[in-house]
Amino acid sequence: QNRLILDTDGGVDDAQALLLLIANGRAPDAITTVFGNVSLASATRNILTTLAVAGADIPVYGGAAQPLVQPIIDATHIHGEDGLGGAPRLEVFGDPHGDDAVQFLRETLLQAAMDGEKVDILTIGPLTNLALVLHLEPKVIAGIGRLIIMGGTLNGRGNTTPAAEFNIYADPEAASIVFGSDIETVVVPWETCATHQMQGQEIEEMFAGVGDSAGKRFSQALANQSREIVKSYTGMDIMRFVDPLAAAVAIDPAIVTRSLTASVKVALAPGITRGMTVVDPSRRLGTPPVVLVEAVDLDRMKELYRASVGELRLSA
Ligand code: BDR
Ligand code: CA
């Protein structure tokens, strides 16, 4: 299996996705952080605290603090002021390994290309870090295996604007660079995430069967924040698998039960469609085809999630 780099904006479901990877045998070899759900500084801190909860020693590199062109937006109204919905933190967590994620990506991917290796990349935040490295050094593409992106929409139903999903809307120019690059890409779009859910009752039962630990308390707080937010928007007591769904695809590609191959272009013009991913199965957009995930095996998804919500220290 290829090495894996996780690029994340450190929100509630980013923490869940990271725990999922660690618990299910696909711990990232390195993590790069980006502004997004919260500020870059909070994203980095949240990832370090999640690693502390998991007892995992993985190098973290801080990356872009703002989008390429437009002003910054965040989603603290979804993820809480601290970005983790106030989840209880462990006192001790280390420092980031470095503060130049783009340089780290450049060196790592070029080295991999020289060694005839490939590194998979999983992005669950805005695509700014990846866009910067692709712009700086297009040769890095030779070192990238599979790119898995949580972001965009399949049918133009956004979560941040009517047409745009957060990770793309937060930096459309960056997303446009990435979708224009010839990389083997799997996209996990918003609508797919929104329809893969776990009922509140089922979550309660799951946690009731897990012994008390820092990991459990942390995971439960993340799940509760997720449920609260969905409830405030829809009235339903459910948790949606968002970033964890993309993590599951990185862990087990066979989890995908239905997908669509299409070219994708990001709408950049100002106005109501800015940040929308236009998807064309007839591939007339002039961008390389990508695979868009439409459905996954939900039982398998829940199984991977269950494995990640208890005491992780031994498996990390
Ligand atoms: C994306 O935005 C964030 O809120 C989530 O972490 C996810 O990456 C969903 O649109
Ligand atoms: Ca995220």
**Ligand 1 pocket: which of 124, 128, 241 to mutate (most atoms within 8 A of CB):** 124
Using left for φ > 0, alpha for ψ between -120 and 50, and beta otherwise, residue 235 falls in left
Using left for φ > 0, alpha for ψ between -120 and 50, and beta otherwise, residue 55 falls in left
* Per-residue pLDDT tens over the stretch 115-159: 999 999 999 999 999 999 999 999 999 999 999 999 999 999 999
Q: Which of 279, 35, 41, 281 is nearest to 174 (CA)?
A: 35
Q: Give dist(CA 171, CA 159) in Å, integer.
A: 15
Amino acid identity for residue 43 in this structure:
A
Amino acid identity for residue 9 in this structure:
D
Question: Residue 98 gets which letter from DSSP?
Answer: B
Residue 313: the pLDDT is 60
* Per-residue pLDDT tens over the stretch 213-272: 989 999 999 999 999 999 999 999 999 999 999 999 999 999 999 999 999 999 999 999
Q: Distance, CA 10 to ligand 1 centroid (Å)?
A: 10
- Nearest Cα residue to atom 2 of ligand 1: 166
pLDDT at 49 over 50: yes
Confidence bin at 5 (pLDDT 50/70/90): very high
At 276 the three-state DSSP class reads coil
Cβ of 37 closer than 6 Å to ligand 1, yes or no, is yes
Cβ of 190 closer than 6 Å to ligand 1, yes or no, is yes
Alpha helices (H) in the chain, listed in sequence order: 12-23, 40-54, 76-79, 101-114, 128-136, 166-169, 172-179, 190-194, 200-208, 214-234, 243-251, 298-306
Residue 90: the pLDDT is 67
Q: Which of 48, 80, 6, 2 is nearest to 243 (CA)?
A: 6
Question: Who wins on pLDDT, 78 or 314?
Answer: 78
Segment 285-295 shows an average pLDDT of 97
Segment 92-99 shows an average pLDDT of 80
Cross-strand pairs, 258: 295
Two tokens, residue 284 = 């007339």
* Per-residue pLDDT tens over the stretch 181-205: 999 999 999 999 999 999 999 999 9
Cβ of 165 closer than 6 Å to ligand 1, yes or no, is yes
Q: Which of 11, 15, 47 is nearest to 31 (CA)?
A: 47
Tell me the C-alpha to C-alpha distance, in Å, between residue 95 and each of 22, 68, 155.
19, 26, 41
Cβ of 242 closer than 6 Å to ligand 1, yes or no, is yes
* Per-residue pLDDT tens over the stretch 161-186: 999 999 999 999 999 999 999 999 99
Amino acid identity for residue 161 in this structure:
T
ipTM value of the model? Answer: 0.95
Residue with token string 């994708």: 264
Pairing relation of β-strands 238-240 and 197-199?
antiparallel
Segment 62-82 shows an average pLDDT of 91
Cross-strand pairs, 125: none
**Ligand 1 pocket: which of 8, 13, 128 to mutate (most atoms within 8 A of CB):** 13
Two tokens, residue 94 = 């280390």
Q: Give dist(CA 234, CA 1) in Å, integer.
A: 40
Q: Give dist(CA 296, CA 111) in Å, integer.
A: 34
Residue 316: the pLDDT is 39
pLDDT at 37 over 60: yes
Confidence bin at 78 (pLDDT 50/70/90): confident
Whether the pTM exceeds 0.80: the reply is yes
pLDDT at 315 over 50: no
Tell me the C-alpha to C-alpha distance, in Å, between residue 183 and each of 3, 51, 144, 156.
16, 29, 7, 23
Segment 282-299 shows an average pLDDT of 97
Q: Distance, CA 10 to ligand 2 centroid (Å)?
A: 6
Q: End-to-end distance of the chain based on CA atoms, in angstroms?
A: 18
Cβ of 38 closer than 6 Å to ligand 1, yes or no, is no
